[in-house]
Structure 1
Amino acid sequence: MSLSLTRRTGPLASRLCAFCRSSPSSLPIAGPSRPSPIRSLHVAPIVARTPYRTSPSRGSRGSSRQREPQRGRPSRHDRAGQSSQVITANDYEPRQASRAGKVAQVILDRLPEWTVSSRTQRRLEAYGFDAKTAKITLRDWMGGVEAGLSGVRDDAGAREALQSRGWDVDGLLHALVSEEVATAFEAAMLRHYLEYTVLHESTPPTLVAHLRQLLSITDISRLPFQGQNLPARSLTRHFHLHIGPTNSGKTYNALKALSRAETGAYAGPLRLLAHEVWERLNLGTVGELNGNGRACNLLTGEERRIVGDDAGLLSCTVEMLPLGGAGGDGYDVVVIDEIQMMGDPHRGGSWTTAVLGLKAKEIHLCGDETTMDLLRSLVEPLGDQLTVHRYNRLTPLVVSDKSLNGDYAAVQPGDCIVTFSRTNIFAVKKAVEQTAGRKCAVVYGALPPETRAEQAREFNEGRAEVLVASDAVGMGLNLKINRMIFESLHKFNGRIEVPLSLTQIKQIAGRAGRFGQGRTFSPTASPGASATSSSAERDTADSADSADPALPDETPAPGGEVTTLHKGDLPLLRHLLPTPLSSITHATVDVPFGVTEQLAALLPLSTPFSELLDHVSNLARLPPHTTLGTTQHKAPLSDIIEPVREHLSLSELDLLTYSPVNTRDQRIVDIFRTIVSGYAMSGKVSFDEVFGPSKLLKTLDAVEVALSTMPSPSQILDGKKWVLPGIVINSLPLLESLHKSLVLYIWLSFRLNVAFPDRPIAVDVKARTEAVLEQSLEHLPGLKRRKKPSAEDRERIRIEEEREAAQEAKTGKGKIGIDWKPRDEGERTRERWRGVGLVQPAQEVEKDSAA
């Protein structure tokens, strides 16, 4: 099937954006049919593509995430003289599985280079090798490997030869499919060589003993039966896997089970989701509670709320889930959301840890169909039971017959336009508000979760008719979206333009017409499911009770619609939505800190922490069906910490490298460096010490003053000019950085509460920052009233005025305006829960002392 989309660049790209004042190269690109602040995608008649390659990430042995499509490269020029970048449906086809013969060939190809590389030599020196021993053993090992693998004639022979000589064939096959070849094969060759050297006759006895310790410590192949996972082996756990597409009722049914349990927990991927479930359980709007709330506590990386010391329920993020429950007594029921995240190379280890080590009688896993086989292979060998519940979408999702054809006047109330980058989001927002006269809310990843939730509330409650969002809309927010509009099917990943993955496309599209989130309502219904026990493959007909009345937030919508802004994207979208997702074959695991700690004792004292992480990654032997999580985030932070490492313990180093720091934001990196230096040198970090030298607080004060002099948008009369202070526009990225820096301080204060004593101050400034961000979004470009056109905007304004004149002739109304609706502060959920159950530093110190 020849479906493709193309990015176009043309003369309109030379315009400057009034919002960002950026150079033309960073602007959204307009299509030729009508002036537009965003890029246009079309079917290109002449194309050229090459597959992309993913460079191996530091400390990672491969990823089991959903395969991204191949990137296109700038190609021949089309007839308009515009450069094209093409994505086709073929790019989303699953990769063909590699064969054992390919694994053997890669090993043979890489052997000569690996044995003489400087990286290999440095590692062997760190393990205690002298030059003579290394030379002899490397020569003999390489000769043995070549002799054993060179003569294989077919894949069956290759597999037998590899397995008989101790190679992890399945792990290396997975690495080939994931394109993480270099890192995975280097690690496999290193461990294989060390195991050979231990048995070599020329290896000195002291080195043999040392290597045996290295290999034993880093062997985590029996991880489910070790350490923190051991208490879970005392139970025969019953897993319920709820699988289905977005808006199929799987989480609804899982939460019903939790609401009936005496003790239990919900663990989600985002703080927004954890906060939402916490609120609903306390209010009694989950499952069959019918308004009778259950006491539930909240535990996230930056927020802890204790509603009751004896509360039986907990809502948390997956990383914060206590495996043993309160007091180590375990749980009756636990719900783990978005289980497909266990294949994520960055965060997936937390999901796998929960699956392997959670001490609970009943564990409900919610996600898509990609994890079913993997979960069966993980939990059934442990003696646990797995029952699969399959769901269909509760409301229909249809692809529109036509796109918007680049016309923002066709945007309707209840629409969500998905685009990428802050620049594009505000450009689209401005176009919709000025062309269609519909107020827009915005949601994107750099905004604080609280601000995202407030913008979502503006949209859901009708104060904003349209939502403009990034791919952050795909998870964590309940939204009343009638129609989802893809402005583009690719985005910039920090280096190049890349296509959206199939998972992203399905998850974003599925947000339209969600059950209970429609703007119009149908008669009530209750989600249903069918269930199958994987051990016996028997039907249990575990359907929800259709007689149960649906709660207001669980009332079905008539269905959802999905389309594209540009005509050329629609055929590809229509083709991709029904395409099944590829299965996740390996779960991500993280090496326990105890392994790192023991390994550090066997390496030279001068080994930098980043190199210690590399040693752990390269030596680790993993359990079946798993792959090692990446240390890509920890490595740059460890480099920042290294100058003061001698003042820190290994556990402190490890904790600091887990800090929530966006290393691409230099302002946050500078804050982190100040925090690390202060903590290492004095053991105490005050709020003023961190934020006093920074200009971020001064920016917050200045924007607060500027906003205080401005009327609210609802007070600005139509046609009145109002100049927005430049500081409000230009300070948005700084305010986002300030918020993330405050979150960092709060995050550390929960883990090192004595060393970070000023959490109340940070929480207060964080709330101020969120309020200023919300007010700034209300006043940003797109919300301003009409002004005289500049020379470069004259053509666009002419088209808009012609459309307005046509509308006035048709409807009798004048200029398109926005109906501003005042907020009802009393209805805000944030106000309802402000201060409820908040844990203060003094309480923690008191509890620690008592313990």
Structure 2
Amino acid sequence: MSQEVLSEYNSLRKLSDMRFPSEWFPEARQMQRKIYLHVGPTNSGKTYRAIQRLQSAESGIYCGPLRLLAHEIYDKMNQQGIQCNLLTGEERREVSPTAPLTSSTVEMANLAKPLEVAVLDEIQMISDPHRGWAWTQALLGLKAKEIHLCGEQSAVPLIKKLCESLGEQVIVNEYERLTPVALSSSSLNGNWKNVRKGDCVVAFSRNSIFDIKKKIEKETGLQCAVAYGGLPPESRSQQAKIFNDPTSPVKVLVASDAVGMGLNLNIKRVVFSTVQKFDGREFRYMHIPQLKQIAGRAGRFGTTYASGEVTTFFNKDLAYVDKCLESPIIPLELAGLQPTVDIVEVFALQMPNETYSSVLQKFEDLASLNGNYFLCNFKDQKRIAEVIESIKLPLRDRYQFVTAPVSTRNEETLNAVQEMAKIHSNNKVLELPELVQLPNSQMVDVGSLSYLETAHKKIMLYMWLR
């Protein structure tokens, strides 16, 4: 290796050094923040306690994993007469420029504003391979006197290690479940006739959900609501509302694993139609924490039911659910990181002739991290970078497009981001009706629903990039 090549290599290694991410936020390091960690199972009141503290704060922010949750806190605060603004990637609602509180999705958390209280919900997602960086960034960078972290007990050792490296003490508050939940002694024996009012049947694909809904309604005469990840948050919320309403004819919910987070549901019994799901390559058993979280939705405190049940459609799956419910907590080991636009920009300047996707690949190959962190998966970013590679854009604009919430498994949304990048590059204006043409006729079949879901994804992407 020549001296010139070695020098370039060492320079790139230095620029991709991410071993000390706490140093990215010097103003937060100058504060003596108090960190409170509220942990416990689903339905233990941990988030409720943190929100209570936020309500009494002179200034504060709620950071959640879903737009649905950000909306819920925004509505709750304003209904109680506490002014609260809303900030998500797709939407900004300003009740007042002087509102003391903001409810946001975690990626949109304002790290520049000094605050009294910050609530960071679902802290265990700090280890998520795709989005974990946003929780890490918020934990390291929020300029709040008090930070309340809410989530699963599995996060305790990792959060303690991270805060120890910051020189900040963590006060851990542990919570017990408010209502009991138990595994049923028998399954539905493979018969949808055994579905009862108050059941939530869990499946893992849209086609399965609608197929099960159709069978339940035919076999039992009970009407079903549906909830799954591809359904817009507003529609999921509406479906939850009609299921929860005791005067509604809808008595059963058929849902995907999206039911595990973000909806308050009046569920008596959770029924797993299967305990295996397709991960993009093969069918695998559900991860234990995920199954526990979904099972914990049964018999929530404050709903109609004082206790909850969990069962399966087939007898053969009961043993796996039992094993998961009885399994010990698996501690998280690493927190996600993602380079800031400033870091990527300086790194890219060393390779002016490389494509942006190649820059990302080299950064991923060379990045140095310490033992508490991992680099969040660049796979989706590299895919988007390839799609817009030929379009002339400043690096910072390219970074915005590449980090946009694009479903890379959907070719239509990839085409949409490419079209928007071209319009932006040519300094033109793209009106929403040019991007999405909605049909006039009422849509009822699953194929039409797929079209509408994709249209919604495009609209959300358009709003995020505005």
TM range (shorter): over 0.9
Q: Is the 8 A contact 1:585 1:625 kept in 2?
A: yes
Query: Could you tell me which of 440, 464, 470 is aligned with 2:256?
Result: 470
Query: Could you tell me which of 366, 372, 375 is aligned with 1:625?
Result: 372
Whole-angstrom CA distance in 1 between matches of 2:160 and 2:228? 36
Q: Which residue of 2 aligns with 1:241?
A: 37
Higher Rg: 1
Q: Which residue of 2 aligns with 1:215?
A: 13
Q: Which residue of 2 aligns with 1:581?
A: 329
Whole-angstrom CA distance in 2 between matches of 1:423 and 1:210? 52
Whole-angstrom CA distance in 1 between matches of 2:333 and 2:64? 22
Q: Is the 8 A contact 1:335 1:364 kept in 2?
A: yes
Tell me the CA shift for residue 209 of structure 1.
4.6
Q: Is the 8 A contact 2:361 2:382 kept in 1?
A: no
| Closer/same/farther in 2, CA of residues 212 and 496 from structure 1, 3 Å limit | closer
The amino acid of 2:459's aligned partner reads L
Percent of aligned pairs sharing the same letter:
42
Tell me the CA shift for residue 672 of structure 1.
2.1
Q: Which residue of 1 aligns with 2:50?
A: 254
Q: Which residue of 1 aligns with 2:199?
A: 415
Tell me the CA shift for residue 688 of structure 1.
4.1
Query: Could you tell me which of 515, 538, 548 is aligned with 2:301?
Result: 515
When the two chains are superposed, the root-mean-square deviation of aligned CA atoms in Å is 1.5
Tell me the CA shift for residue 494 of structure 1.
2.8
Whole-angstrom CA distance in 1 between matches of 2:130 and 2:322? 31
Q: Which residue of 1 aligns with 2:22?
A: 224
Secondary structure of residue in 2 paired with 1:633? helix
Tell me the CA shift for residue 670 of structure 1.
2.2
Q: Which residue of 1 aligns with 2:408?
A: 663
Q: Which residue of 1 aligns with 2:383?
A: 636
Secondary structure of residue in 1 paired with 2:379? coil
Secondary structure of residue in 1 paired with 2:147? strand
Tell me the CA shift for residue 742 of structure 1.
0.8
Q: Which residue of 2 aligns with 1:479?
A: 265
The amino acid of 1:238's aligned partner reads K
Question: Residue by residue, what CA displacement relative to the aligned partner does 1:370-392 show, whole Å, maximum 9, x if unpaired?
Answer: 11111111112322121000111
Whole-angstrom CA distance in 1 between matches of 2:434 and 2:129? 35
Further displaced range: 728-737 or 390-399? 728-737
Whole-angstrom CA distance in 2 between matches of 1:214 and 1:306? 42
Q: Is the 8 A contact 1:609 1:638 kept in 2?
A: yes
* Within-5 A mapping of 1:429-444: 429-444=213-228
Tell me the CA shift for residue 481 of structure 1.
0.4
* Within-5 A mapping of 1:155-554: 203-204=2-3, 206-207=4-5, 209-226=7-24, 229-284=25-80, 293-325=81-113, 330-462=114-246, 463=248, 464-516=250-302, 518-519=303-304
Whole-angstrom CA distance in 2 between matches of 1:622 and 1:378? 13
Q: Which residue of 2 aligns with 1:743?
A: 460
Secondary structure of residue in 1 paired with 2:129? coil
* Within-5 A mapping of 1:822-833: none
Secondary structure of residue in 2 paired with 1:703? coil
Q: Which residue of 2 aligns with 1:798?
A: none
Whole-angstrom CA distance in 1 between matches of 2:6 and 2:200? 63
Question: Residue by residue, what CA displacement relative to the aligned partner does 1:110-137 show, whole Å, maximum 9, x if unpaired?
Answer: xxxxxxxxxxxxxxxxxxxxxxxx2xxx
Query: Could you tell me which of 360, 385, 399 is aligned with 1:654?
Result: 399
Q: Which residue of 2 aligns with 1:761?
A: none
Q: Which residue of 2 aligns with 1:674?
A: 419
Tell me the CA shift for residue 702 of structure 1.
2.6
Whole-angstrom CA distance in 1 between matches of 2:5 and 2:288? 50
Secondary structure of residue in 1 paired with 2:112? coil
Q: Is the 8 A contact 2:118 2:144 kept in 1?
A: yes
Whole-angstrom CA distance in 2 between matches of 1:428 and 1:668? 28
Whole-angstrom CA distance in 1 between matches of 2:163 and 2:277? 37
Whole-angstrom CA distance in 2 between matches of 1:496 and 1:456? 31
TM-score under structure 1 length normalisation = 0.53
Q: Which residue of 2 aligns with 1:702?
A: 441
Secondary structure of residue in 2 paired with 1:393? coil
Query: Could you tell me which of 315, 321, 343 is aligned with 1:595?
Result: 343
The amino acid of 1:625's aligned partner reads N
Query: Could you tell me which of 543, 559, 571 is aligned with 2:319?
Result: 571
Whole-angstrom CA distance in 2 between matches of 1:677 and 1:235? 44
Tell me the CA shift for residue 606 of structure 1.
2.4
Question: Residue by residue, what CA displacement relative to the aligned partner does 1:462-481 show, whole Å, maximum 9, x if unpaired?
Answer: 32100000111111111010
Q: Is the 8 A contact 1:703 1:731 kept in 2?
A: no
Q: Is the 8 A contact 2:300 2:306 kept in 1?
A: no
Whole-angstrom CA distance in 2 between matches of 1:587 and 1:386? 17
Further displaced range: 212-221 or 591-600? 212-221
Secondary structure of residue in 1 paired with 2:326? coil
The amino acid of 1:585's aligned partner reads E
The amino acid of 2:384's aligned partner reads L
The one of the two structures with greater contact order (alpha-carbon pairs below 8 A, sep at least 6) is 2
Whole-angstrom CA distance in 2 between matches of 1:420 and 1:222? 39
Q: Is the 8 A contact 1:241 1:365 kept in 2?
A: yes
Aligned residues: 464
Tell me the CA shift for residue 422 of structure 1.
1.3
The amino acid of 2:355's aligned partner reads P
| Closer/same/farther in 2, CA of residues 559 and 598 from structure 1, 3 Å limit | same
Q: Which residue of 1 aligns with 2:308?
A: 560
| Closer/same/farther in 2, CA of residues 620 and 390 from structure 1, 3 Å limit | same
Q: Which residue of 2 aligns with 1:195?
A: none
Secondary structure of residue in 1 paired with 2:179? coil
The amino acid of 2:60's aligned partner reads G
Whole-angstrom CA distance in 1 between matches of 2:308 and 2:281? 34
Whole-angstrom CA distance in 2 between matches of 1:323 and 1:420? 36
Q: What are the ranges of 5 or more consecutive residues in structure 1 without an aligned counterpart?
A: 1-133, 135-202, 285-292, 520-556, 705-726, 750-851
Tell me the CA shift for residue 729 of structure 1.
4.5
Q: Is the 8 A contact 1:324 1:331 kept in 2?
A: no
Tell me the CA shift for residue 208 of structure 1.
5.3
Whole-angstrom CA distance in 1 between matches of 2:183 and 2:418? 49
Secondary structure of residue in 2 paired with 1:277? helix
Tell me the CA shift for residue 343 of structure 1.
0.4
Whole-angstrom CA distance in 2 between matches of 1:444 and 1:578? 27
Q: Is the 8 A contact 1:295 1:307 kept in 2?
A: yes
Whole-angstrom CA distance in 1 between matches of 2:435 and 2:325? 48
Secondary structure of residue in 2 paired with 1:627? strand
Whole-angstrom CA distance in 1 between matches of 2:398 and 2:341? 11
Higher strand share: 2
Secondary structure of residue in 1 paired with 2:36? strand
Tell me the CA shift for residue 434 of structure 1.
1.1
Q: Is the 8 A contact 2:270 2:309 kept in 1?
A: yes
Whole-angstrom CA distance in 1 between matches of 2:18 and 2:200? 46
Whole-angstrom CA distance in 2 between matches of 1:448 and 1:211? 46
| Closer/same/farther in 2, CA of residues 354 and 425 from structure 1, 3 Å limit | same
Tell me the CA shift for residue 211 of structure 1.
4.0
TM-score under structure 2 length normalisation = 0.96
Q: Is the 8 A contact 2:432 2:459 kept in 1?
A: no
Whole-angstrom CA distance in 2 between matches of 1:689 and 1:575? 52
Tell me the CA shift for residue 315 of structure 1.
0.5
Question: Residue by residue, what CA displacement relative to the aligned partner does 1:183-208 show, whole Å, maximum 9, x if unpaired?
Answer: xxxxxxxxxxxxxxxxxxxx53x555
